[in-house]
Amino acid sequence: MIKLEKLSRAECIRYLGGKNLSVTPQIESLLNECEQKIFETASVKYLYREIPLDSQILHHGNDIEEHLKDCEKAVIMCATLGAGIDRLIRTSQVTDMAEAVVIDSLASVAIEQVCSKVDLIISDIYPGKYLTFRFSCGYGDYPIDLQGEFLRILDAPRKIGLCTGKSSLLTPTKSVTAVMGISKNPIEKRKRGCAVCNMRENCKFRKAGLHCDI
């Protein structure tokens, strides 16, 4: 069971375009209320599975090959905050759009937090080994339309209700799929690019050609 913990305010504010923002009590209470709603609504679920390196799904383009270079195994994973969060975002758009964007953004922070926790769970299974960062389809030349295949291998629609459709959008929307390499040797610290960031679709930095430096 993964339990959500305090969501990073700084990340949320950054996602929503705040750079030099002074956090007033009003903003603080808006963030707190939205976080509380997310905690009450989210139903965190995840799956992972080791797959052999010669699996078809790992051989689409150069970027994934590069990512898994020197690895001996790969683990694919997926995680979701559940359909309730989508409903919460939908309903809040009707009543208060300002709240809706905060919930939307905090939920992105939350799914990122979930993924980091899944990372830890997986690394516990491979003591003494090293994990690459999460590499998702849609990045570089790794095709986004592998999304369905990821979910099928993980049996995600049935096990955690995570699906996709013709547009390869994950539904529920606050969800992630990714692949990680397992290596005997320490993995050269690469800067985690926008590649595997779940905010990349909405990221102001990326759009401005910058990086958030995480």
Partner 1 sequence: MTFKELLEKKEFIILDGAMGTMLQKSGLKTGEIPELLGISHPEIITGIHKSYIAAGADIIYANTFGANSYKLEGCGYSAQEVIKAAVSNAKKAAENTDTLVALDIGPIGQLLEPAGGLSFEDAYEIFKEQILAGENSDLIVFETMTDLYELKAAVLAAKENSDKPIICTMTFEKDFRTFTGCSVECMVMTLKGLGVDALGLNCSLGPEEMYPIAQQLCKFSPLPIVIKPNAGLPDPNSNTYDVSPKDFAESMAKLVPLGMKICGGCCGTTPEYIEELKNILKDKKYTKNQPLKYPAVCSATKAVDISEPRIIGERINPTGKKLFKQALIDGDMDYILSQAVAQVKGGADILDVNVGLPEIDEKEMMVRAVKEIQSVVDVPLQIDTTKGEVLEAGLRVYNGKAIVNSVNGEDESIETVLPLVKKYGAAVVGLTLDKNGIPKTAEGRFAVAEKIVKAAESYGIPREDVYIDCLTLTVSAEQEGAAETLKALKMVKEKLGCKTVLGVSNISFGLPERELINRTFLTMALENGLDLPIINPNVDSMTGAVRAYKVLKSIDKNSVSFIESYNSANAQEKKPVTPNTKRTLEEAIENGLKSECGAITRELLNTMEPLEIVNQKLIPALDKAGDSFEKGKTFLPQLIQSANAAQACFEIIKEKIASSGNSQVSKGKIILATVKGDIHDIGKNIVKVLLDNYGYTVVDLGRDVDPQKVVDTAIAQNIKMIGLSALMTTTLKSMEDTIKLIRTTPQLQNPDGTSKCVVFVGGAVLTKDYAMKIGADYYCRDAKESVDTAKAVLG
Site of interaction with partner 1 (CB under 8 A): 13, 16-21, 27, 30, 43, 47-51, 55-57, 82-84, 86-87, 89-91, 93-95, 97-102, 104, 125, 138, 144-145, 149, 152-153, 157-161, 163-169, 171-173, 200-202, 204, 207
- The one-letter amino acid at 178: A
Q: What is the DSSP string of 58-93?
A: G-SSHHHHHHHTT-SEEEEEEEE--HHHHHHHHHHH
Report d(CA 183, CA 185) in Å as an integer.
5
Within a 10 A sphere around the Cβ of 129, how many other Cβ atoms?
17
User: Among residues 68 and 77, whose Cβ is nearest to partner 1?
Assistant: 77
Q: How far is the CB of 214 from partner 1 (least distance, A)?
A: 18
Report d(CA 136, CA 143) in Å as an integer.
9
Q: How far is the CB of 153 from partner 1 (least distance, A)?
A: 5
Q: How far is the CB of 171 from partner 1 (least distance, A)?
A: 4
Q: How far is the CB of 97 from partner 1 (least distance, A)?
A: 5
User: Among residues 190 and 201, whose Cβ is nearest to partner 1?
Assistant: 201
User: Among residues 13 and 212, whose Cβ is nearest to partner 1?
Assistant: 13
User: Among residues 188 and 211, whose Cβ is nearest to partner 1?
Assistant: 211
User: Among residues 41 and 186, whose Cβ is nearest to partner 1?
Assistant: 41
User: Among residues 71 and 151, whose Cβ is nearest to partner 1?
Assistant: 151
Closest CA to 174 of 42, 54, 3, 33: 42
Return the DSSP state at 134: P
- 171 - beta bridge partners? 163
Report d(CA 48, CA 130) in Å as an integer.
16
Q: How far is the CB of 38 from partner 1 (least distance, A)?
A: 15
Sign of CA dihedral 18, 15, 37, 93: positive
Q: How far is the CB of 20 from partner 1 (least distance, A)?
A: 5
The burial class, CB within 10 Å (0-12 / 13-18 / 19+), for 14 is buried
